[in-house]
Amino acid sequence: MFYRLFALFSLIFCSNLYGGDIWLTWQNDPTSTMVISWLSSKETKPAHLFVSYRKYGSEDDSWSKFLSTIIPFPADEDKFICYAELLGLEADTEYEFRIKNNEEIYRFKTAPNTIDKPISFIVGGDTLEDNTSLFKVTNKRAAKYEPLFVAIGGDIAYAVTNTKEDPRRWQKWLEIWFETMRIDSNRLIPIVAVPGNHDVRGGFDRAHKDAETFYALFRSPTRREYTVLRFGTYLSLYLLDSGHAIPVNGVQKVWLQEELKKDALMLHRMAVYHVPAYPSVSTLDQKYCARVRKHWPPIFDKYDLHFAFENHDHAYKRTHPLRNNKVNSKGVVYIGDGSWGTNPRLPIQAPNAQYLAETRSEQQFCYVTISKKKRSIEVVTPDGRVLDKYSQTIKKK
């Protein structure tokens, strides 16, 4: 109610608002919804608070209009986020939309209901530390793969240093994402994200209020901090907080266990979070890694998670399948370690860690393809080299 009133107030009094960069996310069913968000300032015109949309290729002029909810942008009091969650969309369908009449038209695509043909998406983390060109070049390579969506595992804009947050870094990130993450010049690629220590004021063991900007950008005004996205009956993607604004233990852990229990028949089960349980650069006994490893892998083991995408260490790693902290062919594979747009570090744990199957000091992302028969990953560098390939064949029960 507060946000609706805020939207109406803004419509009446903020007659000169300006529409900024656009990003897409999912908060609910990816087969029938899409969240369109954009950043506005007090110069925005009222028309910029509406999104018009229709199925791509419609011949008549039947645009549906939807009034966005306005959310304060916590990092900058002169800015607002316009948030529009479109519901009741058709699965596996392209839509076109515009933020006001006669302005540029963009497109998005909903996820399929079923996995009749292979589906691909991308996972990576630690995206824009200091060097924007490292971020841009990886974005451009990722967009060429035309993924259904991109999952980012935290340390997104590095807007937070210790307890200070710099809003310009979020704005720069949104601007570059909007410019580069497109298919065929105007189809925007949805992002689903989790927080890292550089997205939350104070980094670790903080509270909801310390991650206000992250939530305002990547969660709905009413959605909880951690979530699972279910794509039909073929993919569950768990988006977790590895101890930044929400404890690893406690209600998040209870929730994770309950949700994984529901997913016994889900074809592919994967999790994305920031701090690695099985690091490649940090030591195994580093306190935040040890904490994640203590609480989550036992649950992953119990409910047969397939892949856990980890970040934060700025290198590439893939573990052997692990169960009960030991190599086991039926175990969970931990992959990632987050170097989308950072200068990569040396994976110094590699010689000592029996759990690591592959490590590299390279910028990279994981290109994931799932089908009825297989789940596979290609690890790709910004210049297009494939660093590693890994796949699992699905056994019939």
Q: How far is the CB of 312 from Fe ion (least distance, A)?
A: 4
Q: How far is the CB of 51 from Fe ion (least distance, A)?
A: 33
> What's the angle, vertex CA 361, arms to CA 356 and CA 363, rounded to 5?
115
- In terms of Cα–Cα distance, which of 126, 134, 149, 146 is closest to 34? 149
One-letter amino acid for residue 269 of the chain: R
Indicate the angle between helix axes 132-144 and 167-180, nearest 10 degrees.
30
Question: Is the CB of 139 or the CB of 197 nearer to Fe ion?
Answer: 197
Structure-token match 């969240």, residue found: 35
CA distance 22 to 103: 13
| CB burial of residue 323 (10 Å; 0-12, 13-18, 19+) | middle
Question: Is the CB of 110 or the CB of 311 nearer to Fe ion?
Answer: 311
Query: How many other β-carbons are positioned within 10 Å of the β-carbon of residue 41?
Result: 16
- Tokens for 14? 């903020």
Q: How far is the CB of 155 from Fe ion (least distance, A)?
A: 4
Question: Is the CB of 336 or the CB of 382 nearer to Fe ion?
Answer: 336
Decide if residue 378 touches Fe ion (CB under 5 A): no
Instruction: Build a one-symbol-per-residue string for 98-137: x at contacts with Fe ion by CB under 5 A, - elsewhere.
Output: ----------------------------------------
Decide if residue 236 touches Fe ion (CB under 5 A): no
Q: How far is the CB of 313 from Fe ion (least distance, A)?
A: 8
CA distance 22 to 91: 22
Q: How far is the CB of 196 from Fe ion (least distance, A)?
A: 4
Q: How far is the CB of 161 from Fe ion (least distance, A)?
A: 12
Question: Is the CB of 19 or the CB of 154 nearer to Fe ion?
Answer: 154
Compute how many residues bind Fe ion; rule: CB under 5 A.
4
Decide if residue 25 touches Fe ion (CB under 5 A): no
Question: Is the CB of 196 or the CB of 243 nearer to Fe ion?
Answer: 196
CA distance 304 to 297: 10
E strand or H helix at 106: strand 106-109
Tell me the residue nearest to Fe ion as measured from the CB: 312
Q: Cβ contacts of residue 188 below 8 Å, gap of 6+?
A: 22, 23, 24, 106, 107, 108, 178, 181, 182
Question: Is the CB of 34 or the CB of 200 nearer to Fe ion?
Answer: 200
Question: Is the CB of 115 or the CB of 151 nearer to Fe ion?
Answer: 151
Q: How far is the CB of 199 from Fe ion (least distance, A)?
A: 9
- In terms of Cα–Cα distance, which of 339, 344, 348 is closest to 281? 348
- Tokens for 183? 């298919």
- In terms of Cα–Cα distance, which of 23, 155, 163 is closest to 82? 23
Question: Is the CB of 155 or the CB of 310 nearer to Fe ion?
Answer: 155
Q: Cβ contacts of residue 208 below 8 Å, gap of 6+?
A: 215, 225, 245, 246
Q: How far is the CB of 9 from Fe ion (least distance, A)?
A: 38
Instruction: Build a one-symbol-per-residue string for 331-350: x at contacts with Fe ion by CB under 5 A, - elsewhere.
Output: --------------------
CA distance 306 to 30: 20
Decide if residue 388 touches Fe ion (CB under 5 A): no
Q: How far is the CB of 203 from Fe ion (least distance, A)?
A: 8
Question: Is the CB of 19 or the CB of 338 nearer to Fe ion?
Answer: 338
Query: How many other β-carbons are positioned within 10 Å of the β-carbon of residue 107?
Result: 17
Structure-token match 């990547």, residue found: 218
Instruction: Build a one-symbol-per-residue string for 145-174: x at contacts with Fe ion by CB under 5 A, - elsewhere.
Output: ----------x-------------------
Decide if residue 312 touches Fe ion (CB under 5 A): yes
Instruction: Build a one-symbol-per-residue string for 169-208: x at contacts with Fe ion by CB under 5 A, - elsewhere.
Output: ---------------------------xx-----------
Q: Residues interacting with Fe ion, by CB under 5 A?
A: 155, 196-197, 312
